[in-house]
Amino acid sequence: MKERSLNELRQVKDTVYKHPYKSDNKQSVKDLILEHYANTEDVLFADGLDDAIIGFEPNLWKVVYSRTKVIDIFIERDGMTAEEAEEFAEYNTFAAMVGEKTPLWIEDFDWDGL
């Protein structure tokens, strides 16, 4: 059996699985969360990290972010090295507590870019 790259697997998933909430206009995950959840209760988002959102946890009412994508954003947007971005994110983002709706920072093990 041939091993597939992560990009090949993503293309297969995108072709086979069509999410029920996604439309052809490619809504962002943040837009989907706002559309389906924010009308009943406030949702807390981390500023400048919208591209790192990977979902929403409705039982805890928290936005879910990819730790790897957050680090990637700091590398690409702010010009940090991978080590600087990881240290900055750990101290300034992942460890920040901003109340009961503090986002969840999930390790997705998507380390291809780092």
pLDDT tens, residue by residue, 51-77: 999 999 999 999 999 999 999 999 999
> Can you give the residue ranges of every domain in the chain?
28-106
Lookup: tokens for 106: 């999930």
Read off the DSSP letter of residue 14. H
Q: Is the pTM of this model over 0.85?
A: no
pLDDT tens, residue by residue, 77-99: 999 999 999 999 999 999 999 99
pLDDT tens, residue by residue, 7-65: 655 554 554 444 454 455 578 999 999 999 988 789 999 999 999 999 999 999 999 99
Pairwise CA distance, residues 34 & 66, whole Å: 18
